[in-house]
């Protein structure tokens, strides 16, 4: 009898939690490296090893117990990942791809070098000589490291009048790009099991933001066939440029003329893909575990005409009232999947769970999701 494979995940948050459940369905053991006690992943059966995401010695020690290593977040110690890869352990995504993506300015340079369409972007120190490259007068100053859900982004709608304020940002920590006039935001998630195999794409998701945080996601995206094909082609070119197996989420802007620009890339499972858990024949989490272990991938498809997901966000500060899916069994419905992330503390705008609903009519599905959402009190 073949011994069960073990996947190590650096990070033990909600993404690791849902990867753990998917791994167990494939008879794969999971270890997570996480500094916080009672991590979401450990609550569903992952063995937790205590350590930080940048502790090289601990990561190397952790990897020795695993057949393959993956990540819950991209802000991890790349040197340690490279050392793990050098000792023969499979690392997905590759350390090289993580190194490029975790610094957003380096990520944008990489995309531009590979002829992938992005908004014009420049270093802070070069703002004066590059203002003529910006259409209009609006820019976004972005943190190079660590920003997510809009954190680390600063919008200047009239940069000509705010030039000195922009120059005050550290060139080492920030860069700026043209503020894009877009009509929609979409996400394309592609998974590759090996760098030489065909990319398996999920249906294109349309995302809707509120206060810079993803509020809802639905599929199929309400875009033209031409825009859809362009988005898939650009996403494929983007993923191929990293020469790495794994899951890649390509966030894109749809312009008024139907063209698309790449906004950001995540080298991991992604919030926009949570609706695949229940809403597709295979979740992004199972597909990713398959990729991590070099297994055969599944052709993803929606299980209904319309699939819709709402993020459950904290609306207060304090202990969580609900931490497990089992606490919400009274809300069960054949066309609903509710995930609670097991976070012990609720904070305003913190993602603590999500609800996915599906069916034939978008109006009926959205109404069902809203009704369920109103009954959830985390």
ω into 365 cis (within 30 of 0) = no
**Quick check: is 115 in a domain?**
no
- Assess whether 143 and 218 both reside in one domain: no
Range of the domain at 162: 120-178
- Assess whether 192 and 314 both reside in one domain: yes
Kindly tell me the number of DSSP H helices and DSSP E strands found in the chain.
11, 20
- Cα(38)–Cα(235) distance, integer angstroms: 36
CATH code (residue 199): 3.30.470.20
Query: Domain count of the chain?
Result: 3
**Quick check: is 114 in a domain?**
no
Question: Can you give the pTM of this predicted structure?
Answer: 0.95
319 touches 336 (CB < 8 A): no
**Quick check: is 125 in a domain?**
yes
- Assess whether 159 and 59 both reside in one domain: no
270 touches 13 (CB < 8 A): no
- Cα(235)–Cα(283) distance, integer angstroms: 19
What is the residue-wise DSSP string for 218-230?
EES-S--HHHHHH
- Cα(376)–Cα(378) distance, integer angstroms: 6
Residue 195: the pLDDT is 61
Q: List, in sequence order, every residue forming a beta bridge with 351; answer none if it has no partner.
A: 313
Place of tokens 């890339």: 265
Residue 150: the pLDDT is 67
Please name the residues in contact with 23: beta carbons below 8 A apart, sequence gap of 6 or more: 7, 29, 30, 289
| Coil, strand or helix at 184 | strand
- Assess whether 25 and 87 both reside in one domain: yes
- Assess whether 298 and 278 both reside in one domain: yes
Residue 1: the pLDDT is 46
Q: Phi and psi for 58 in degrees, rounded to 5?
A: -65, -40
**Quick check: is 27 in a domain?**
yes
For 33, what's the count of Cα atoms within 13 Å in the CB-facing half-sphere? 28
**Quick check: is 213 in a domain?**
yes
Tokens of 128: 């004066």
Residue 28: the pLDDT is 98
- Cα(60)–Cα(169) distance, integer angstroms: 36
CATH code (residue 20): 3.40.50.20
207 touches 84 (CB < 8 A): no
- Assess whether 84 and 133 both reside in one domain: no
Tokens of 232: 């898939």
**Quick check: is 101 in a domain?**
no
- Cα(39)–Cα(16) distance, integer angstroms: 9
- Cα(255)–Cα(246) distance, integer angstroms: 28
Residue pLDDT tens, the chain, 378 long:
467 899 999 999 999 999 999 999 999 999 999 999 999 999 999 999 999 999 999 999 999 999 999 999 999 999 999 999 999 999 999 999 999 999 999 999 999 999 999 999 999 998 988 888 888 889 999 999 987 766 789 999 998 888 899 999 999 999 999 999 999 999 999 999 986 679 999 999 999 998 889 999 999 999 999 999 999 999 999 999 999 999 999 999 999 999 999 999 999 999 999 999 999 999 999 999 999 999 999 999 999 999 999 999 998 899 988 878 888 888 889 999 999 999 999 999 999 999 999 999 999 999 999 999 999 988
Q: Phi and psi for 11 in degrees, rounded to 5?
A: 110, 140
- Assess whether 150 and 202 both reside in one domain: no
């Amino acid at each position: 009898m073949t011994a069960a494979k073990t996947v190590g995940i650096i990070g033990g948050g909600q993404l690791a939690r849902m990867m753990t459940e998917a791994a167990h369905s494939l008879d794969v053991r999971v270890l997570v490296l996480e500094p916080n006690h009672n991590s979401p992943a450990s609550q569903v059966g992952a063995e937790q090893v205590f350590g930080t995401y940048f502790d090289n010695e601990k990561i190397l020690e952790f990897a020795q117990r695993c057949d393959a290593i993956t990540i819950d977040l991209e802000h991890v110690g790349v040197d340690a990942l490279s050392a793990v890869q050098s000792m023969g352990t499979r690392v997905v995504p590759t350390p090289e791809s993580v190194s490029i993506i975790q610094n957003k300015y380096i990520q944008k340079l990489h995309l531009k070098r590979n002829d992938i369409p992005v908004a014009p972007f420049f270093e802070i120190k070069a703002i004066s000589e590059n203002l003529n490259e910006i259409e209009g007068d609006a820019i976004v100053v972005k943190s190079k490291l660590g920003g997510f859900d809009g954190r680390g982004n600063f919008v200047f709608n009239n940069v000509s009048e705010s030039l000195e304020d922009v120059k005050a940002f550290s060139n080492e920590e920030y860069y700026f790009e043209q503020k894009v006039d877009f009509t929609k935001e979409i996400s394309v998630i592609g998974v590759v099991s090996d760098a030489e195999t065909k990319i398996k794409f999920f249906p294109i998701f349309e995302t809707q933001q509120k206060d810079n945080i993803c509020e809802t996601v639905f599929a199929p995206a309400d875009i033209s066939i031409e825009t859809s094909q362009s988005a898939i082609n650009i996403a494929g070119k983007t993923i191929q440029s990293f020469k790495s197996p794994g899951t890649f989420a390509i966030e894109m802007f749809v312009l008024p003329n139907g063209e698309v620009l790449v906004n950001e890339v995540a080298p991991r499972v992604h919030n926009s893909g949570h609706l695949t858990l229940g809403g597709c024949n295979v979740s992004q989490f199972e597909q990713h575990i398959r990729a991590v272990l070099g297994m055969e991938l599944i052709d993803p498809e929606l299980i209904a005409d319309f699939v819709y997901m709402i993020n459950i966000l904290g609306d207060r500060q304090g202990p969580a009232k609900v931490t497990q899916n089992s606490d919400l069994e009274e809300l069960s419905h054949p066309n609903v999947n509710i995930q609670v992330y097991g976070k012990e503390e609720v904070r305003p705008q913190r993602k603590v769970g999500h609800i996915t609903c599906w069916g034939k009519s978008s109006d009926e599905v959205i109404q069902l999701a809203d009704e369920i959402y109103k009954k959830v009190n985390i």
